[in-house]
Amino acid sequence: MKKRKKNREQPPAPQEGLRCRGRVWVEKDVETFIGFGRVVLLEKIREHGSISRAAQAMQMSYRHAWKLVDSMNRHAGSPLVVASKGGSGGGGAQVTAEGERMIDRFAELRCRLDRFLVEQTALLFR
């Protein structure tokens, strides 16, 4: 076998300014189940205790936010958001333990994607 020079063992630096970017989401039966926007919505529901206030905070219609929550709840093994019977101010909404788990799992997935993209940036353009 040929001896390689030591400087060939290092992957060459990528072309300056190039960067791999990416997006990841999870489908259930070919429909979107969890993605970045949906996780932000879950976090806003946790923060505000209400779908309508979460929607407002995201400049999203209540109808759209409700549809996203309904889609997540239908696709999950158990609901990610439940209605909480309210007092005089009307009912709110709570993120369940399963919802919290999904928020965490999606954060982990995005973290691993970020690592993957850093590796690919180093690998690709040499």
Residue closer to a copy of itself, measured from CB, 23 or 63: 23
At its nearest, how many Å lie between a copy of itself and the CB of residue 32? 8
What is the amino acid identity at position 40?
V
CB 102 to a copy of itself: min, Å: 9
Nearest to 68 by CA among 106, 107, 42: 42
19 binds a copy of itself (CB under 8 A): yes
Mapping DSSP to helix (H, G, I), strand (E, B) and coil, where does residue 13 land?
coil
Name the site residues for a copy of itself (rule: CB under 8 A). Answer: 15, 17-29, 33, 77, 105, 108-109, 112-113, 116-117, 120, 124-125
